[in-house]
Amino acid sequence: MTLTTNPSLLALTMGDSCGIGPETIARAVAARATGAALVIGDVAVMRRAVVHCGLLLPVARLDAPADAMLAPPDCIPVWQPPGLQQVGRAELVDLPMGQVQADAGRAAAHCIEAAAALALRGEVAAIVTAPIHKEALAAAGVHFPGHTEMLQAAAGGAPVRMMLANDELRVVLVTIHVALRRAIEMLDFDAVLQTIRIAHRSAAAWGQVAPRIAVAGLNPHAGEGGLFGDEELRFIAPAVAAARAEGIDAQGPFAPDTVFMRARDVRGHPGEFDLVVAMTHDHGLIPVKYLGVAEGVNVTLGLPFVRTSPDHGTAFDIAGSGRADASSLIAALRMARRLAGVGPQTAGLSLGA
């Protein structure tokens, strides 16, 4: 990490304007849970979100991102990046709530790119991203399936990995937003070893310099010695062995139907592992999300800046109703401050041993 011009300032992207992202931001500000942060998005959309939530919060238009440091408490400081008003054919605030809209996807991508540029220039300490809709991105012609891939490209293409974490379980994924058949094709020795290395190196940011890493298998019973598949024998176990030869405390591959229970850390059951590396998106995320979406945080590992997000989506079914829950966004904000080493170490999601 490099020193920032505003060492405690976070950039909070608005997300899809037709989803619940703006409402969760408004609720987080009302709860005074954002700290020093600017919202990158549309002023009119944020004002509409305040109304939807039944709140009394002023929304201030910033001339420059650094002006957020001067914003009073209980105010939503919004910076509209140059060109945001020109990305669509209609005003964002006029788009129907709860529907896939190409203009909303295009605007969300524009805000993410602006946030990444601020982080790369050292103008913010971290990025926290509100949910986007992948269909809206695709409709807008954005050739990235999600935040992770978009930020990876903005940062120059360095290898990154997705981690979902809560107080009980932390999971790092080898593959993410691709079809399951394609995900299996993408798995190989290098991908697994690189994931273990990134997980090991990243854990130092939350105080675990020697994390215990469990590697989940791909097949039932981790292949049962080749009976149910040979990926474990061909490259997963060799990658674990290679990691161990580098001094990394990696173990496995373990049966994916039990390893998450072994790693779960709760009162009366200390986890056997600090991290689990899972081969595919749903293998790894279902157990974390089952424990509670409100407490979960998505962290992108391997970027040259800190990026977190809530672990839920745009929730089009309740968008505009004012019923959005900001708990996961607040957890993501706290996590971002902790990983960036800024602000008070407030209570919330813990990644320590």
pLDDT of residue 343: 61
Inter-CA distances, 166 with 23, 117, 284, 294, Å:
22, 28, 13, 9
- The domain defined by 167-291 folds into Isopropylmalate Dehydrogenase (3.40.718)
Instruction: Judge whether 297 and 311 are in contact, CB under 8 Å.
Output: yes
pLDDT of residue 1: 33
pLDDT band at residue 349, thresholds of 50, 70 and 90? very low
Residue 266 pLDDT exceeds 70: yes
CA pair distance 300, 199, nearest whole angstrom: 10
Residue 353 pLDDT exceeds 50: no
Domain ranges of the chain: 1-157+304-353, 167-291
Q: 167-291: same fold as 1-157+304-353?
A: yes
Supply the CATH classification number for the domain 1-157+304-353: 3.40.718.10
Core vs surface per residue 74-91: b (16+ CB within 10 A) or e: eebbbbbbeebeebbeee
Residue 5 pLDDT exceeds 90: no
Mean pLDDT over 142-170 rounds to 91
pLDDT digits (tens, 9 = 90+) for 217-237: 999 999 899 999 999 999 999
pTM for this predicted structure: 0.87
pLDDT of residue 351: 54
CA pair distance 183, 112, nearest whole angstrom: 25
pLDDT band at residue 4, thresholds of 50, 70 and 90? very low
Residue with the bigger pLDDT between 294 and 177: it is 177
Omega within 30 of 0 (cis) for the link into 253: yes
pLDDT of residue 72: 84
